[in-house]
Amino acid sequence: MPPVIETSTQLVEYAEALRSGTGPVAVDAERASGYRYGQRAYLVQIRRNGSGTGLIDPVPLPDLSVIQDAIGDAEWVLHAANQDLPCLAEIGLVPKRIFDTELAARLAGLPRVGLGAVVESLLGFSLQKGHSAADWSTRPLPEEWLV
């Protein structure tokens, strides 16, 4: 598991790794909407071929424009993009092109379109989704949630 990116130096280093990566960028945000008012992002997860996975804590790093500069022109892959796009925009992340896997699953006629169900039905992997509704504003972030 990669370390959580919590400093400006770590953020710049990961932005450079993203810039040198290739292909689309997978992006996900974790919120604490069941525990807090608003839809603020409390963890941003990014992965790109050749760049590895980044777990970014936007609490100490509320401006992720360096990441935007690194991946802004790439296609972003999100699941249920309408849920994550507002909180990502608040921290400076706005895609130019997206591929929404939930919308694709709906268009393909899959009976269940949640991320776990789509991944299991198409790829045969079971995702651990037990912490998706957790209070992601908790600090420090529990390691079991990050896994």
Mean pLDDT, contiguous 10-residue spans, the chain (147 residues)? 96 98 96 72 97 97 96 95 94 96 94 90 82 82 88
CB 89 within 8 A of CB 34: no
Say how far apart CA 143 and CA 14 lie, in whole Å. 20
Q: Which amino acid is at 54?
A: G
CB 51 within 8 A of CB 45: no
- What domain range is 11 assigned to? 4-146
CB 88 within 8 A of CB 25: no
Q: What is the CATH number of the domain that holds 99?
A: 3.30.420.10
Q: How many domains does the chain have?
A: 1
Q: What is the model's pTM?
A: 0.90
